[in-house]
Amino acid sequence: MNAPLVAGVDSSTQSTKVELRELETGALLATGRAPHPATSPPVSEQDPASWWSALVEALAQLRPHLDRVVAMSVAGQQHGLVVVDAAGTTIRPAKLWNDTTSAAQAAALRKRLGAGEWASRCGLVPVASFSITKLAWLADEEPHHLARVDRVMLPHDWLTWRLTDQHVTDRGDASGTGWWSPVDGSYRVDLLGLVVDDPEAWLSKLPAVRGPTECVGPVRGDVADALGLSRDVIVGAGTGDNMAAALGLALKPREVTLSLGTSGTAYAVATSPTTDATGAVAGFADAAGGFLPLVATLNATKVTETVARWLDVDVARLAEMALAAAAPRAELALVPYFDGERTPDLPAATGVWRGLRNDTTREDLARAAFSGVVNGLLAGVDALRSAGVEMDGSLRLIGGGARSAAYRQITADLWGSPVTVHAAAEPVATGACVQAAAMHSGRGPLDVAASWRLDAGTQVEPDPQVDGAALRAAYRDAARSV
């Protein structure tokens, strides 16, 4: 008899990925994938219908196995603002996390309340990434659209709604909005009232916040039939992509993760909430009942893709060039703020090369590109430590960039200690599978992740000839000049 399966969905900025794993063992059976439309900040928007089309296409690739699926969960890109009218129609394209057009609204919100007060009330200090700034932008720039809003959703909420007809979210993704407190575990009417009139009335427009293992309902019958799923498939509350990745890594307190994707993140699991008035660390909740303090950067693997294009090579060749470079020179640095930056909060910034000379080689430029991305994320680790997040010295590396030998080695060199490269190809989709299995079995998500042995990885040792500390200090000096 074939074992029952769970489906985990990762709806990211670039694509939808779906994993099918065995309910009991977590063994990976199959993966489907479909692309999303490309975006380019400062205006970064997608039609939610494209996410649904990608989900349908990814599931179609798995159709021979779908009759064995008993539960599923959706993880999605954080912070995006989806607004829906009373007829269930999306009012406008969703503004995504990396849309920086609400920078002025973010600045106004910080000025109005003060960074320290924001951090204490919701764990966040507004920047253009967060949902509340996008809602403020809608109120300022498109009041005719704001007047039509019947429901407000995050990207993963919208997909869960399409699957189940339930308007719900989870504490992890809710903690990235700016209108929900991970400390209180509730919506903050006072914060919502800074951007909309009659905030009490707006509470009914927000999704109900469900727990980590709650079932929000079965897949709608007509949707199940169209997707090739059983009508008995149950759906979890889902979560944000970073929260799902922490589950997919079986991440424990004090362990730090760097994620290299379109964006970059540095985060750790914590047992108590984090408050950082500098705004560098976002005090998120996680998807298992704890907390996930996190630092995000806008510029990660797109930087090396861009530099590869400038040098007329592909990314694989750029990695070879970076590893072939002579001993890295501290005076050569790339501050890679190509799309502006979220941490530090510099939405209008641009990239800066420093230390270029006539004898600078193509290989030097290649290494500086990878190093600039990694240095930006390691600055995020420093911010986590400054905010009181406890660490044990271990570092996990995940995301598409973790498949690159150059990113692996340069991360270890700059960290100055061994780095664990995670074995799972798609930890966000894996984490969504963990949540689905926990919901179906009644076990805790951390217990499921541990029993599936998701913490396995490969160790990468630093090059003892590289002075990582000196290179990081030189980068910090270069970044201060931007």
Tokens at 367, concatenated: 């290494």
Amino acid (1-letter code) at residue 193: G
Count Cβ atoms below 10 Å from residue 127 Cβ, excluding itself. Answer: 27
CA atoms of 480 and 460, how far apart (whole Å): 30
Name 31's bridge partners.
19
CA atoms of 46 and 95, how far apart (whole Å): 7
- State the first-to-last Cα distance of the chain, in angstroms, to the nearest integer: 61
Tokens at 357, concatenated: 């000379």
Collapse the DSSP code of 339 into the 3-class scheme (helix H, G, I; strand E, B; otherwise coil) and give the result: coil
Taking the CA atoms of residue 440, residue 446, residue 450 and residue 454 in that order, the dihedral angle to the nearest 10 degrees is 90
* DSSP per position, 269-287: BBSS----TTSSSEEEE-S
Tell me whether residue 241 is one of the annotated catalytic residues: yes
In sequence order, what are the residues at sequence separation of 6 or more whose Cβ sits closer than 8 angstroms to the Cβ of residue 94?
45, 46, 47, 48, 80, 81, 82, 155, 158
Amino acid (1-letter code) at residue 403: R
Which member of 241, 276, 345, 413 is catalytic? 241
Name 20's bridge partners.
7, 30
User: Which residues are known catalytic residues?
Assistant: 241
